[in-house]
Amino acid sequence: MLGAVTAPAHPTDPLPRRIAHLDMDAFFASVELLRYPQLKGLPVVIGGGRRRDDDVLARLRETYPERDWSDGDLSRIPLDFFPRLASYTGRGVITTATYAARQFGVGSAMGLMKAAKLCPQAILLPVDFDEVRRISRLFKSTILEIAPVMEDRGVDEVYIDFTDVPGGQREGGRVLARLIQKSIFQATGITCSIGVAPNKLIAKMASEFNKPNGISIVWPEDLQEKIWPLPCRKVNGVGPKADQKLQGYGIHTIGELAAREPGWLIEHFGKSYGRWLHAVSWGRDDRPVVTESEPVSMSRETTFERDLHAVRDRTELGAVFTRLCEQVADDLRRKGYAGKTIGIKLRYDNFQSVTRDVTIDHFTDDAATIRRQAGLCLKRVDLSRRIRLLGVRVGKLVKPGTEDGPAAGYSENTAAKPRTAKDKSTDEHTDLLFPELD
Ligand code: DCP
Ligand code: MG
């Protein structure tokens, strides 16, 4: 590779921006492997429910009564004890899968039954939210000890501003990235992947280039070679709908997008999105790494074990609905927020989704108020069809007692709809399977 030729910098010149995106590898699965190291290298998928400690021990004692099992023996559990995907029945989906499992074509959001056909021998484990949260905090605090400017983007990813961190410019950031990777592995036992680039947009793409346990350094002059061949969908902010429309115009790659005139893009995608598309295709993104962020909404949702009908399953549906409202109210109170917009989300048995919301004249964190308003929203949708998923959301948040205006919202870009702090920063993740995580 040709080294970049740089003139000696004037001492007062600002350093070139170097932004890192760090994403933990197969996060929920890696967390389980810490507990069960005997599963290392095997196909493991996470999904199907929550972990309950006592269950595992009780079943162990039942299966191997001759042995004495205690909490510390989890690494001694024989492989044949673990449930296999092949025996799964139900409607759960995969939350994540180890890289060994991904070789069989299984991955996030795929139905467990479908995955069982591809990789029946995979071990199926539930999520341990407490442990996931603990490791999430641990890896983030490890980063903060090394690099102070970090933006929390969800349970397993962050942006880090390398620009002014000692060592942050060496080899384009590789030296610092290596140090962070090593420190996180020492602290948690889990690997991560890091992309370092001139901005967040490119760093986010770059962290995927060498997954797992990889580092990827991208320079401004790499745009044509490394970024332009990628499909438009890789741009954080180009969702499935925009992508489909782009494809309709014969635009498949970021390079093809860059070749379009900005005027043409604005004409077909509107002023703001069109301009943004042009900028990102040329690798331009000035967003700072934001160390504090406020949620713009909080939500809870649930997928039913079987599709429910509003009339025939009225009692069950009503109870779930009330519980969701109570959970959202709890979330709001726990974090000290109140909101003005109350909304619902429904997914029908054919996977079609609808949302409705209403904005009331005061801020609330009250479960009964949320329930009443959400109930009114429910009256505005078609209830003659079977329902697969139900969700409740409270938006337009404020933190009473801190400031009067709405909480400072943020969004990944001007075109994307506002996201909650717990949303992941790629579009596939706008429906996080476990919104209660953050
Ligand atoms: N997750 C979730 N719902 C989704 C997608 C992911 O709850 N729809 C959870 C499980 C993942 C974690 O969030 O372990 C992080 O998501 P990533 O997309 O970063 O996926 P992984 O970390 O599992 O894998 P990778 O190595 O590709 O980053
Ligand atoms: Mg990850």
Confirm whether 326 is domain-assigned.
yes
The distance of Cα 73 from the centroid of its chain, to the nearest Å, equals: 32
- Binding site membership of 375 for ligand 1 (Cβ less than 6 Å): no
Based on the domain organization, do 207 and 234 belong to the same domain? Answer: no
Give one DSSP letter per residue of 314-348, joined into a string: HHHHHHHHHHHHHHHHHHHHHHT-EEEEEEEEEEE
- Establish whether 157 is a catalytic residue: yes
The whole-model pTM stands at 0.73
Confirm whether 71 is domain-assigned.
yes
Cα angle 153-157-159, degrees, rounded to a multiple of 5: 70
Based on the domain organization, do 313 and 405 belong to the same domain? Answer: yes
Confirm whether 438 is domain-assigned.
no
Based on the domain organization, do 305 and 405 belong to the same domain? Answer: yes
CATH number at residue 305: 3.30.1490.100
Of 62, 66, 151, 157, which one is the catalytic site residue?
Answer: 157
Confirm whether 434 is domain-assigned.
no
- Binding site membership of 31 for ligand 1 (Cβ less than 6 Å): no
Confirm whether 10 is domain-assigned.
no
Confirm whether 76 is domain-assigned.
yes
Based on the domain organization, do 67 and 105 belong to the same domain? Answer: yes
Confirm whether 291 is domain-assigned.
no
How many helices (H) does the chain have, and how many strands (E)?
Answer: 13, 12
Based on the domain organization, do 389 and 309 belong to the same domain? Answer: yes
Most informative mutation of 21, 96, 422 for ligand 1 (most atoms within 8 A of CB): 96
Domain interval for residue 352: 297-409
What's the total number of domains in the chain? 4
- Binding site membership of 21 for ligand 1 (Cβ less than 6 Å): no
Based on the domain organization, do 73 and 149 belong to the same domain? Answer: no
Based on the domain organization, do 121 and 205 belong to the same domain? Answer: no
Instruction: Report the nearest-CA residue for atom 12 of ligand 1.
Output: 27
Based on the domain organization, do 106 and 147 belong to the same domain? Answer: no
Atom of ligand 1 nearest to the CA of 433: 3
Burial class from Cβ neighbours inside 10 Å (0-12, 13-18, 19+) for residue 302 reads middle
Confirm whether 428 is domain-assigned.
no
Helices 262-269/240-248 angle, 10° precision = 120
Largest CA distance in the chain: 76
CATH number at residue 53: 3.40.1170.60
Q: What is the pLDDT along the chain (438 residues), one digit of tens a residue?
A: 444 445 555 666 789 999 999 999 999 999 999 999 999 999 999 998 766 656 777 888 888 888 888 878 889 899 999 999 999 988 899 999 999 999 999 999 999 999 999 999 999 999 998 999 999 999 999 999 999 999 999 899 999 999 999 999 999 999 999 999 999 999 999 999 999 999 999 999 999 999 999 999 999 999 999 999 999 999 999 999 999 999 999 999 999 999 999 999 999 999 999 999 999 999 999 999 999 767 789 999 998 989 999 889 999 999 999 999 999 999 999 989 999 999 999 999 988 889 999 999 999 999 999 999 999 999 999 999 999 999 999 999 988 765 443 333 322 232 233 333 333 333 322 333 333 333
